[in-house]
Amino acid sequence: MLHKKQCVAMLLAGGQGSRLGVLTKNMAKPAVPFGGKYRIIDFPLSNCANSAIDTVGVLTQYRPLELNAYIGSGAPWDLDLNNGGVCVLPPYQTGASGEWYSGTANAIYQNMPFIQQYDPDYVLVLSGDHIYKMDYAAMLRYHIEKGADTTIAVRQVPWEEASRFGIMNTDEEDRILEFEEKPKQPKSNNASMGVYVFTWKVLKEYLTRDEADPNSHKDFGKNVIPAMLGDGLKMYAFSFNDYWKDVGTIESLWEANMDLLTTPLPIDLHDKKWRVFARNVGAGPQYVSETAEIDNSLISEGCEVCGKVHHSILSTGVVVEEGAEVVDSVIMPGSRICAGAKVYRAIVAENVVISENAVVGAADGDIAVVGNNTVVPQGDTVNPGEQRAAE
Amino acid sequence: MNDMMGLIYTTAVDSLGELTTQRGTAAVPVCARYRVIDFMLSSLVSSGARNVGIIMQKNYHSLMEHLGSGKEWDLHGKNQGLAILPPFLTRDNVGVYGGFMDAVKSNLTYLRQCRERYVLVTETGMVYSARYDDMLKQHVKTGADVTLMYTDDPGVVRSGNSGRYLDVDVSGRVKDIEVEPSLAHYRNTFMECFLIRRELLIDLVDRALARAQHHFVRDVLIGALRDGSLKVYGWHNPGKVWKLDSVQAYFNCSMDLLKPDVRKELFNTERPVWGKQRDDMPTRYSPNAVVKNSLLADGCVIEGTVENSILFRGVRVQKGAVVRNAIVLQDGYIMSNTHLECCILDKGVIVREGTKLIAPATYPTVIGKNMII
C-alpha cells in the first residue's frame, strides 16, 4: 500500500515534436539536449524536485528509448524513492482493448489508476517542452488558498504573439472567465504555459466525461478546460513572469540556447539553492588548448577545444579541432568539428562529425541543422535552413 | 563479472601541507573535478568489482561526505556496494588504527562476511588508473599468493626516499623488496596496491599480529620472500602514476594533465572516472575571456586570462585577472586586476582586487581553505 500524496505530477512527454525536424527523428522532444549539459526534461523534473513534488508520472509514447534510459531510476533528480519517485508510463494493453494515447487528456485518463494509488488531493499536469524554473509548490498553495478547482499558470506575452497561444481572459481576482485557443483577436495577453493544477476529484470526473464523448479530441486545451469553464467551475490564473521559453521549434530552441550567453543570465543556472539537475555522464574536465580562441560561449565537461568558438554552446564531450570555427551555434553531446570546418548559425545534434573543411550554415539566414549520428563529408556544404540527417 | 572486491586503505599521512590539514590524501581534490579516491573507486568498478570496503583514518569527515551512499560509482547495492570502515572502540579494539594490519584486524568480521575470493588492496597516496581486471588475470594465471602492483614511471622513482622498491625477475616473480632506502637499488616502485585471496589475507594478518608483527610489507612479505612461504609476483602498471608525497608532486601531477597523451590515458571514455556530481551549469566564457592550455571543470565564469592552469568547479575569474600556472580549487573567486602565478588555492579562496601572488615554479605556494587575500 502506497502512502497518500498531497500532489502527484504528470509530465506529458509523449509528443513527437515534429517541428524540431531531424532533431526528433529518433528521440522524443523532452530528450533533446539543451544548454550544454541538460536535456529539456531536466527542467520540469528539477522543478518538481525543487518544489518538493516527489511523485512524478512521465507519459511517454513517441520514441521513448532515449527518454527512458535518461530518466532511469530518477536518481539524478532525487526521484528514486520507495514511496513515490518517478515512474515512466507508456501506453499499455488491457484485457479488452489497449490503445495509444490519443490526446493529452486521454493520456492522463489512461493512467488514472497510477494517480489513484497515491490518493492525491491535487494533480499537477506539466509538459516537457519548456525551459523555465518555477516553484510549483507556490502555485499549489495559490490553488488551495483560492479554493480553486483548476489553476492554470499564465504569463504575459507580447500582444503581437498572443494569437499563437491559448489566451485566458480573467477578472480582477484572476478568475478565468474565458479561454480562447489561438484567438485571431486576443482580448488579453495572458498566455497558458501548459502547467495546470487540478483538484483530483474534479479532474477525475471531467476526464471520465471527456473520454465518453466520441467527438472530443481528448485534449486539455481543446476539450477539458472549455468544458470546465462552461460548467462554471472555479478556475484561476496563476501569473508567472520569470524566464520561460518554448523550445518546440528549431528557431526557438536555438534562441533559448543563445539566451544562456547573455549577461546577466535570464535564467540563473548557477543558483545553488535551485539546481537544475542532469544525469552524470562521467566526463572529465574540459581542455582548452594553446591554439583555442573562445569568447562569449558556454562549454561543458569533456570538451576539447583547439579551434575558434564564438557565441556558441558546446555540450558534453564535443571536440573542436585546430583551425575549425564554431560561431553562433549549438553543438550537442559527442560531436566533432574537424580541422578547417566552419559551423555558423547551426544546431549540430549528437555524435555528428563535421569533416575537414565542411561548411555548415552561414553568418546570416536560417538555422542549419545536422541530425544525430550524421557525418558531413569533407568539403561538403549544409546550407542555411537545410536539415541534414543520417541515412 | 569477476570474483574480486576492493579494500581501500586511506592513507593517514598528511604530506600535502595545507591541503591535508583538514582532509586525508584520499579526499584531496585533483584533476579539476575529482578527489584522489575517485580514481581507485572508478578503476575498481570498471574492473568489475561490485563490493568495496574503505578503511577510514583520522579526518574522515570530508571523505564520508564525498562518498555518500556510493551511488556515483554504482556502489549503492544491497548485499554489496560501499562499506565504510572507520576506526571504532571495543573491548578488543583500540580505536585509531596503528596501521594497515590493525585496520584489517579490526574489520575481520566485515572481511569474513564478504563473498569474493580475491581482495584488491590499495592505499591512496598515488593518483593512477589501473586495469585491476588484468592484474587479476595475471594473479590467477601465475598462481601467485600475492601480486604487487608496481610502476617504473621515472617520475615516481625520483620522488624522494619514502618508497618501497621491488626486484622483479623476468618471470614476474618478486625476488626482493626494499623499504625506504636512502638510495633505491631497484627501479620498480611498489604502488601500495596488491591482490590476494581474501582468506589468505585474513590468515596472514591474524598470524602476524599474534607474533607482534605490525607491518605488512616489512614483516609479512619480506619474511615470506626470505623463507619462500609465499609466491609473490609483481604486476607492472603500464600507465602514468603520480605519487602525492609533497606539494610539488601535487603541482606536477596537475600540470601533467595539460599534456594530451596523459589526459587521453586518464580520461579514457571506455573506463570513465566517476566523481561526485554538483550539478553546476557548464562553464561560461565572457566576451573578454582569454583561456590557453588549461583544464576547467563546470560552473566556472571566466572574464579574465587563464593560462596553463587547472580550475575546479565554480571558479570565477574576473576581468583583468591573470591566472597562470595555477591550480584553483572549487569556488575560488579571483577578483579583477589580480595576478596569480604558481599558486595552489584551496577551496573557497577569495583573491581581492589588485592582489599579486607570484611564487617560483619550483616551490608553489598553497593558500588554505576559505582564506581571503
Q: Which residue of A has its CA nearest to B38?
A: A282
A131-141 in b/e burial notation, b at 16+ Cβ within 10 A? bbbbebbebbe
Residues of A in contact with B297 (CB under 8 A): 285-286, 301
Q: Which residue of B has its CA nearest to A277?
A: B279
Q: Which long-range contacts (CB under 8 A, 24 or more apart) does A145-149 make?
A: A146/A234, A146/A236, A147/A234, A148/A197, A148/A199, A148/A234, A148/A235, A148/A236, A149/A198, A149/A199, A149/A202, A149/A228, A149/A233, A149/A234, A149/A235
A277/B296 Cβ within 8 A: no
A278/B298 Cβ within 8 A: no
The C-alpha atoms of residue B147 and residue B229 are separated, in whole angstroms, by 14
| DSSP-derived secondary structure letter, A148 | -
Q: Residue B268: pLDDT band by 50, 70, 90 thresholds?
A: confident
- Predicted-complex ipTM score: 0.90
Residue A239 has pLDDT above 70, yes or no: yes
Q: Is the dihedral of CA A282, A14, A41, A88 positive or negative?
A: negative
The C-alpha atoms of residue A381 and residue B2 are separated, in whole angstroms, by 50
Backbone angles phi, psi at B215, to 5 degrees: -120, 125
- CA distances B252 to A113, B238, B249, B259, B325, Å, are 60, 19, 5, 12, 10
CA distance B39 to chain A (A): 12
CA distance B294 to chain A (A): 5
B277/A296 Cβ within 8 A: no
Residues of A in contact with B33 (CB under 8 A): 284-285, 301
Task: Give chain A's end-to-end CA distance (angstroms, integer).
Answer: 49
**Which pLDDT belongs to residue B99?**
78
Tell me: the pLDDT tens digits for B307-324? 999 999 999 999 999 999
Tell me: the pLDDT tens digits for A264-323? 999 999 999 999 999 988 889 999 999 999 999 999 999 999 999 999 999 999 999 999
CB within 8 A of B14, min separation 6: which ones? Answer: B20, B21, B24, B25
Taking one residue from A and the other from B, the number of pairs with CB-CB distance under 8 angstroms is: 103
Q: Which residue of B has its CA nearest to A260?
A: B284
pTM, to two decimals:
0.92
Cell of A356: 575537414
Most B-contacting residue of A287, A314, A351 (CB-CB within 10 A), to test interface:
A287
Q: Is the dihedral of CA B140, B143, B144, B150 positive or negative?
A: negative
Which chain B residues have any C-beta within 8 angstroms of a chain A C-beta? 31-33, 71-72, 258, 260, 263, 266-267, 269, 272-274, 277, 279-289, 291-299, 301, 310, 314
CA distance B235 to chain A (A): 27
Residues of A in contact with B46 (CB under 8 A): none
Q: Are B236 and B128 in contact (CB under 8 A)?
A: no
Residues of A in contact with B72 (CB under 8 A): 280
- CA distances A184 to A167, A176, A178, Å, are 11, 19, 15
CB within 8 A of B275, min separation 6: which ones? Answer: B33, B34, B35, B38, B72
Most A-contacting residue of B39, B298, B307, B316 (CB-CB within 10 A), to test interface:
B298
The C-alpha atoms of residue A179 and residue A237 are separated, in whole angstroms, by 11
A296/B285 Cβ within 8 A: yes
Q: Are A211 and A104 in contact (CB under 8 A)?
A: no
Average pLDDT (B89-115) is 80
A282: left (phi over 0), alpha (psi -120 to 50) or beta: left
Classify A222 as helix, strand or coil. helix
B182: left (phi over 0), alpha (psi -120 to 50) or beta: alpha
Range of weakest confidence among A110-124, A326-340, B136-150, B159-173: B159-173
- Name which of B65, B75, B124 is nearest B100 in CA terms: B124
Identify the bridge partners of residue A320 per DSSP, sorted by sequence position.
A305, A337
Q: Are A292 and A310 in contact (CB under 8 A)?
A: no
A282/B299 Cβ within 8 A: no
Tell me: the pLDDT tens digits for B117-132? 999 999 998 999 899 9
Range of weakest confidence among A71-85, A362-376, B90-104: B90-104
The C-alpha atoms of residue B28 and residue B34 are separated, in whole angstroms, by 8
Cell of A148: 480553486
The C-alpha atoms of residue B336 and residue B304 are separated, in whole angstroms, by 8
For chain B, domains (ranges, CATH) are 4-266 (3.90.550.10), 284-367 (2.160.10.10)
A70-103 in b/e burial notation, b at 16+ Cβ within 10 A? bbeebbbbbbeeeebbbbbbebeeeeeeeeebbb
Q: Are B299 and A270 in contact (CB under 8 A)?
A: yes
Tell me: the pLDDT tens digits for A196-222? 999 999 999 999 999 999 999 999 988
Q: Which of B273, B277, B288 sits opposite A284 (nearest CB)?
A: B273
Residues of B in contact with A287 (CB under 8 A): 258, 260, 263, 294-295
The C-alpha atoms of residue A186 and residue A277 are separated, in whole angstroms, by 37
Tell me: the pLDDT tens digits for B54-70? 998 777 888 888 988 88
B284/A292 Cβ within 8 A: no
B282/A301 Cβ within 8 A: yes
Residue B338 has pLDDT above 90, yes or no: yes
**Which pLDDT belongs to residue A133?**
97
Which DSSP helix (H) or strand (E) runs through A166?
Answer: strand A166-170
Q: Are B255 and B325 in contact (CB under 8 A)?
A: yes
pLDDT above 90 as % of chain B = 65
Most B-contacting residue of A273, A299, A311 (CB-CB within 10 A), to test interface:
A299
Task: Pick the most confident of A80-84, B44-48, B307-311.
Answer: B307-311
Cell of B72: 556515483
Tell me: the pLDDT tens digits for B154-202? 877 655 567 899 999 999 999 999 998 888 889 899 999 999 999 999 9
| DSSP-derived secondary structure letter, A63 | S
Average pLDDT (B25-39) is 93
CA distance B282 to chain A (A): 5
Q: Are A56 and A120 in contact (CB under 8 A)?
A: no
The C-alpha atoms of residue B336 and residue B321 are separated, in whole angstroms, by 5
Q: Which residue of B has its CA nearest to A283?
A: B272
- Name which of B310, B300, B116 is nearest B196 in CA terms: B116
A270/B279 Cβ within 8 A: no
Backbone angles phi, psi at B25, to 5 degrees: -60, -35
The C-alpha atoms of residue B273 and residue A231 are separated, in whole angstroms, by 59
Residues of A in contact with B263 (CB under 8 A): 284, 287
Average pLDDT (A4-21) is 89
The C-alpha atoms of residue A180 and residue A289 are separated, in whole angstroms, by 54
Q: Residue A66: pLDDT band by 50, 70, 90 thresholds?
A: confident
Q: Which of B277, B291, B295 sits opposite A285 (nearest CB)?
A: B295
CA distance B279 to chain A (A): 6
pLDDT above 90 as % of chain A = 79
The C-alpha atoms of residue B215 and residue B38 are separated, in whole angstroms, by 26
Q: Residue B213: pLDDT band by 50, 70, 90 thresholds?
A: confident
Q: How far is CA A118 from the centre of its chain?
A: 26
The C-alpha atoms of residue B365 and residue B342 are separated, in whole angstroms, by 7
Range of weakest confidence among A101-110, A142-151, B349-358: A101-110
Q: Are A27 and A63 in contact (CB under 8 A)?
A: yes
Amino acid letter for position B185 = H
Beta strands A286-288 and A304-305 are parallel
Residues of A in contact with B282 (CB under 8 A): 35-37, 298-301, 313-315
CA distance A327 to chain B (A): 13
Which chain A residues have any C-beta within 8 angstroms of a chain B C-beta? 35-37, 75-76, 260-261, 263, 269-270, 275-278, 280-290, 292, 294-302, 309, 313-315, 317
Q: Which residue of B has its CA nearest to A314?
A: B282
B295/A290 Cβ within 8 A: no
